Amino acid sequence: MIEFRAVTKRFEDGTIAVDELDLTVEAGTITVFVGPSGCGKTTSLRMVNRMIDPTSGTILVDGRDVLTVDPPTLRRGIGYVIQQAGLFPHRTVLDNVATVPLLSGWDKRRARTRAAELLEIVGLDPAFGKRYPAQLSGGQQQRVGVARALAADPPVLLMDEPFSAVDPVVREDLQNELLRLQAELDKTIVFVTHDIDEALKLGERVAVFRKGGHLAQYAKPQELLSAPANDFVASFVGRDRGYRTLTFLHADVPVHPVATAKLGERITVADWTLVVDEQNRPKGWLSGVDGEVEVGEDDLVSGGSLYDGSSLRGALDAALSSPSALGVVVDDAGAVTGVVKADDVIQALAKARAAGEVPK
């Protein structure tokens, strides 16, 4: 657990980067600091491992005032993933990852074994261990950065815009990787970003900062969306708040049966019919026509997104994107189990609201 108690940081030139911050990061969760550029996210983060010391106030990590701990010792117990990885260019990937264990006095062999394990954990082939950072792609470097921070198995992990240097596709991979890792490792993670989508995706709780180092809101993501504390948060969280709120609702939506047909079959199609393959996986829609037709590839209207039962958002999008207005529901194997309707989603939302599941 990390507690900020009335923490203020004023730099020598008078800039107040963080202003009377009070905030508690729960153990075992990912907490995201988000806000526009220059709002004090990095400064707040770096006060935790004493890369910066606060002007006033107290920061406790697991109940201990960080100012009472010698900084290098403190830092060895706190993983720190820096923007653009910040790897040591002169060391191999393996030695980069082994840094903290070696600093903490592990013997070389053990540190390296551990480092090799970690490379696997973050999804890198151990063969990369012998390369130098310059020989890796941006996304691979980020993974090494995460592995390095995890090496000494610290209970606390600080991550400062760790994924900002990679393109959106790789970024999504890394985010999913982080969520998978956290499910296994259960660290206390503080994650800084200025990308609200990333914050909403990763954060169990999100702290929205605004210029001047003020905490504008500290809440669960769904709460930010449905009940932004003020105009700043509302505008920062951006449009689509209502739609995004659905991400966090997992209420049941009724799944309706749907008429299906296989390619090559001869059928009469009165209404929209879902064409599937041998494994019952969706191929596309056939719109209603008069009389009997043979189902051919060319007649198919391709299909809209699929709904895998994850959240109301997926259900609504499946329905909205489907030419038949029916969202295709699939199981884990990708086989069709039925369809959902947009109306049902809207009713499910209303029900969830009434049940108080949507924060106000």
Partner 1 sequence: MGAWLFDPAHWSGPTGIPVRLLEHLGYTLLTLLIAAVIAIPLGAFVGHTGRGGFAIVGLSNALRALPTTAVLILVVLWAGLGDFPVYVALVLLAVPPIMAGTYAGVRAVDPMAVDAARGVGMRESGVLLNVEIPNALPLIYGGFRGAALQVVATATIAAYTGAGGLGRFVFDGLALQEFGQMLAGAVLVALLAVLVDLGFAGLQRLTVSPGLRPAGTGGKR
Partner 2 sequence: MTWILENWERFWEVTAVHLRLSIVPVLAGFALSIPLGWFASRSAKARAVLFPLANVLFTIPSIALIVITPILIGVKILDEINVIVPLVIYTVALMVRSVSDALAAVPGNVIAAANAMGYRPLRRFLTVDFPLALPVTIAGLRVATVSNISMVSVGALVGLGGYGQLFTEGYQTDHTEKVLAGLIGTVVLAVLADGLLLLIGRLLTPWARAGR
165 sits near partner 1 (criterion: CB under 8 A): no
Nearest distance from C-beta of residue 134 to partner 2, angstroms: 3
**DSSP assignment of 158-210, as one string?**
EEESTTTTS-HHHHHHHHHHHHHHHHHH--EEEEEES-HHHHHHH-SEEEEEE
User: Which of the listed partners (Mg ion, ligand ATP, partner 1, none) does 135 bind, with a CB threshold of 5 to 8 Å by partner kind?
Assistant: partner 1
- How many residues bind partner 1 (CB under 8 A)? The answer is 32
| 3-class secondary-structure state, position 81 | strand
- The residue among 15 and 235 lying less far from partner 1, judged by its C-beta, is 15
Cβ distance to ligand ATP smaller for residue 40 or 338: 40
31: which residues sit within 8 A by CB, 6+ positions away?
Answer: 25, 189, 190, 191, 203, 204, 205, 206, 207
Q: Measured between alpha carbons, how far is residue 176 from residues 182, 276, 312, 330 in Å?
A: 10, 30, 20, 21
In this structure, which amino acid lies at residue 44?
S
183's CB contacts (< 8 A; 6+ apart) are none
Residues that bind partner 2 (CB under 8 A): 49, 51, 71-76, 78, 80, 82-84, 86-91, 99-100, 103-104, 131-135, 148, 158
Binding mask 28-57 vs ligand ATP (x if CB under 6 A, - otherwise)? -------x-xxxxxxx--------------
Q: What are phi and psi of 4, to 5 degrees?
A: -100, 125
Torsion on CA atoms 303, 307, 311, 317, rounded to nearest 10: 10
Among ligand ATP, a second copy, Mg ion, none, the one that 50 touches (CB under a kind-dependent 5 to 8 A) is none
**Shortest CB 285 distance to partner 1, Å:** 46
Contacts of 161 (CB under 8 A, 6+ apart): 42, 83, 192, 193, 194
Q: Closer CB to a second copy, residue 167 or residue 294?
A: 167
Distance CA(186)–CA(207), nearest Å, equals 20
- For Mg ion, which residue has the nearest CB? 42
Nearest distance from C-beta of residue 177 to ligand ATP, angstroms: 21
Q: Are 226 and 245 in contact (CB under 8 A)?
A: yes
- Closest residue to ligand ATP using C-beta atoms: 42
Q: Applying CB under 8 A, what is the total number of residues that bind a second copy?
A: 46
Nearer to Mg ion, 42 or 222 (CB): 42
- Contact between 10 and 57 under an 8 Å Cβ cutoff? The reply is no
Q: From the list a second copy, Mg ion, partner 2, none, which binds 334 (C-beta under 5 to 8 Å, kind-based)? A: none
Among 31, 42, 96, 175, binds Mg ion (CB under 5 A): 42
Pick from 94, 92, 132: nearest CA to 110: 94
Task: Kindly list the residues in this chain that would bind ligand ATP in the complex (CB under 6 A).
Answer: 11, 13, 15, 17, 35, 37-43, 194
Task: Kindly list the residues in this chain that would bind partner 1 in the complex (CB under 8 A).
Answer: 49, 51, 71-77, 80, 82-92, 99-100, 103-104, 131-135, 148-149
